[in-house]
Amino acid sequence: MAPFRLVWGFFLSCREAMCKMKGFSSRNLGFLFFVSLFLVSASCEKKADENITDATQKDSVTIWVDRVKDNKHLPLEHNRAILEKALHYTNEILPDSLKTKKYSQISLAYKRIGDTLNFKKFNQELIQLALANEDYQSLGEAYWDLGVFYKLSVPDSSFYFYNEAYESFLKADLSQDAQDYPGRMQYAISLLKDNNKDYVGAGQNAVNAINYYRSNNIDESLFNAYTRLANIEAALDNFTKALEYHKIATSYLEKSQPNKQFNYDIFNRTNIAYAHSESGNYSVAKEILIGVLETDSLRQKDSQIYAKTLASLAKNKLKNGDQNLDSIINLITVSNKILDNIGDIFSQARNREFMAWALIAKSDTLGAIKQAVSGKEIAQATNNNDRLLSTLQLLTQIDKENSAEHAKAYHELSESLQNQERNIRDKFARIQMETDEVIKENEALARQKQLWLYAAVAILLFALAIYIIVAQRAKNQKLRFEQEQQESDQKIYNLMLSQQAKFQEGKQMEQKRVSEELHDGILGQMLGIRLILSGLNERNDESAIVQRAELIEKLQELEEEIRTISHELNEASYQKMHNFILAIDDLVTTTGASAQLQSSFSHDEKMDWDALDGETKINIYRVIQECLQNCIKHAHCEKVEVDFKSNGKSLLLTVSDNGRGFDNSKGKKGIGMKNIMSRVTKMSGVFKVDSALGKGTTIMMTLPQPDRTSNISRAKAMLEV
């Protein structure tokens, strides 16, 4: 814009200088203008090309689109070239996630420069891309652009696209600056229906817009929505309602955007004046309009509103019976001059009708007819059918010569407009019905999918519940079986203990019986033999005496051995095996005392050593007994230590002395050592000897630790036997 301002200033300066020159004509001025315009185009085009080259990747498409928007006065081909570069950049550089936004900008830019073919083309591509990416905001914007495009030419198509935009926005995750889009679509549909005389439908859409804005706290848009609803009520001649809604709109005026509040205030007051005027309160309307015209800088800020307000004031003065007709005509004349200056031909048809009424009041019928005919021609040229109808109706009343012709034209136009409006309303209703049907079908499909989802979830939950129940039952059965198994095992174990106690009791009784038999039977007989032999000793031959003495000595030894066995079977052996640890401790202590050795015994107190089966205890006892005898006979030690440990899985038995030791790799093993190894093997254990000359000897045995299960198994085996 800077080059344009520079050249434009150059043009104005040159024009001012040349106007002072003699012979300067409008033709010279035109030439100067085209020269300046050429310079503007060349300068702007060069600058635009430089800017295109310098566009960065930050938002190049937006830069190009804004340049086209700012330079709409440039040739169409130039702007197309810029948009083609933006399109190429979008397709080749940007990811799919950003393409829809840029396509929306490019499509709208084509519409703004008047390239409708490319607008429609890229709008359709945008719709397909947005559907593919499920970008419902961009999809709604594409439909919105089409709705605006067809608003005047094909209202039913515009209505369809506005509806599609509304539904798309409801599905979209709208950005922060697009939160009001659904309400704006309802507002646009309301305005479209209002322009096509579907006031009932327009009112409903205005209410929808209000409800959306209020539910989403978009207060800045409520002024327009309530104003729209008020104007619809006025069109339905419900002026009391219209004034109520205008009052509500006034309360939201301060919440609207600050830069729009001036214009909104003017619109609000002129609309309120219109409602009063149409309801016959011309004096109230007149006072409101005078207040509007007194608004500071209104003519400078919005000359069109100022001119139309002048004409409205003239009308209300006339309707209110103001006799100063020249003043009224002057107001309309000033309004016409302003409208001529700004090129507003559309509003001049209204002014011509007002002037005709003023001239009628002044009894200037010919002048009134002339103004009315001029108004009719302007209304026809601008397709202002409402003003054309009112002008024809006026001509029917004042142009007596052509009254029939005007009445015929009025009725034909009225009937034609009614048919068009009826057809459009029918199309609106049909589109709405079809849209509602599609919505209902989609809702039905959504409900059906939801039902299938619920059914699938229910089936899954049911299957899961069955699985949990079955699994729980199986678990409960397993636990119950394990509990029953434990109870059975406990019973078996208790029975085993009972049987073992009975077995020990029987064993004790048997031992006692054998002891008694040995003591009372064999021992008595041996004693008798000894006595007989003693009697034979009276023989005097030397050989008999020697022989009998030997026999008597042997019998004495036998007698002593039997007595010892009898005592071990009867008392000591049973007591020792009944308390295993005490038996081992007694063995170690007695052996050490008899051999004058320092002896010690330690054991794992957490282990229930008495729970070992009898065979294992006896084998361990004999192994320890043999090890102690070896310490005494062979090691010549001064100290011996016996240690019993358990690691939960194995029994660790250790016998160590500080004797002279031996070379473990040489020599043969004696009978005692072989007996130890044999007993350890029977107990499924491991035997190890660690010895060296002068360093003592350590014998280590590792035995499997029997558990409760093995005890129960043995008990079962005992029961089976």
- Tell if the pTM clears 0.75, that is, is over it: no
- pLDDT, averaged across the chain: 80
CATH no., domain 580-720: 3.30.565.10
Question: How far is residue 83's CA from residue 65's CA, in Å, rounded to a whole number?
Answer: 7
**Best CATH choice for the domain 257-344 from the list 3.10.530, 1.10.10, 2.30.30, 1.25.40:** 1.25.40
**Interval 349-393: pLDDT, tens:** 999 999 999 999 999 999 999 999 999 999 999 988 889 989 999
Question: How far is residue 29's CA from residue 677's CA, in Å, rounded to a whole number?
Answer: 135
**Interval 198-234: pLDDT, tens:** 898 999 999 999 999 999 999 999 999 999 999 999 9
| SS3 of residue 93 by DSSP | coil
Q: Residue 270 has what pLDDT?
A: 94
Mean pLDDT, consecutive 10-residue stretches, the chain (721 aa), reads 42 42 40 40 42 49 82 80 85 80 85 87 90 91 92 89 94 92 95 89 93 94 94 92 94 91 93 94 94 92 93 93 92 94 92 92 92 92 89 90 88 80 70 68 79 89 91 87 77 71 73 60 55 62 70 67 62 54 86 84 86 83 86 84 89 90 72 82 88 88 73 46 41
Q: Residue 721 has what pLDDT?
A: 41
Domain boundaries, given as residue ranges, for the chain: 257-344, 580-720
Query: Which one, of 714, 719, 706, 712, lies nearest residue 488 by Cα?
Result: 712
Residue 334: exposed, middle, or buried by beta-carbon count in 10 A (0-12, 13-18, 19+)? Answer: middle
Q: Residue 18 has what pLDDT?
A: 41
Q: Residue 33 has what pLDDT?
A: 40
Question: How far is residue 106's CA from residue 67's CA, in Å, rounded to a whole number?
Answer: 12
**CA distances, 79 to each of 87, 120, 310, 526 (Å):** 12, 17, 41, 143
Q: Residue 50 has what pLDDT?
A: 39
Read off the tokens for 23. Answer: 């012979």
Q: How many residues are there in the chain? A: 721
DSSP state of 670: -
DSSP codes of every residue in 563-618: HHHHHIIIIIHHHHHHSHHHHHHHHHHHHHHHTT-EEEEEE-TTS-GGGS-HHHHH
Q: What's the N-to-C CA distance of the chain in angstroms?
A: 117
Q: Residue 77 has what pLDDT?
A: 85
Neighbours of 383 (CB within 10 A): 10
Q: Residue 51 has what pLDDT?
A: 43
Q: Residue 640 has what pLDDT?
A: 92
Report whether 392 contacts 410 (CB < 8 A).
Answer: yes
Question: How far is residue 386's CA from residue 233's CA, in Å, rounded to a whole number?
Answer: 18
Q: Residue 3 has what pLDDT?
A: 43
Q: Do domains 257-344 and 580-720 have the same CATH topology?
A: no
Question: How far is residue 203's CA from residue 330's CA, in Å, rounded to a whole number?
Answer: 38
